[in-house]
């Protein structure tokens, strides 16, 4: 059985604009893996503990990453 886009959105939880802005400010617009300074259109939100491994969409479990670092991590736990 495969999940639909709707089910995936529900499982990950909606971040909301205010929460996204708090995370961006907290992480100072920097990728938390390679420390690259990110532009608005480069920002990606990464679950530290992946949703597929039981992680939540709470602020403490989300960090900023660049595209390359987020894709390299995949669904693994990388502190």
Sign of CA dihedral 1, 65, 29, 47: positive
Look up the CATH architecture of domain 5-73.
Orthogonal Bundle (1.10)
For the chain, give the percent of residues with pLDDT over 90: 53
66 or 73, greater pLDDT: 66
78 or 31, greater pLDDT: 31
Supply the Cα-derived Rg of the chain in whole angstroms: 13
Q: What is the pLDDT of residue 12?
A: 57
pTM, whole model, 2 decimals? 0.74
Overall average pLDDT of the 28-42 stretch: 95
Helices in 1-79 by DSSP H: which ranges? Answer: 5-12, 17-26, 67-73
């Amino acid at each position: 059985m495969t999940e639909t886009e709707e089910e995936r959105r529900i499982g990950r939880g909606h971040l909301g604009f205010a929460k996204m802005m708090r995370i961006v400010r907290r992480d100072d617009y920097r990728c938390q893996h390679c420390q690259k300074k990110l532009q608005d259109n480069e920002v990606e939100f990464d679950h530290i503990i992946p949703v597929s491994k039981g992680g939540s969409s709470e602020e403490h479990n989300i960090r900023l990453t660049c595209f390359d670092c987020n894709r390299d991590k995949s669904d693994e736990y990388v502190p």
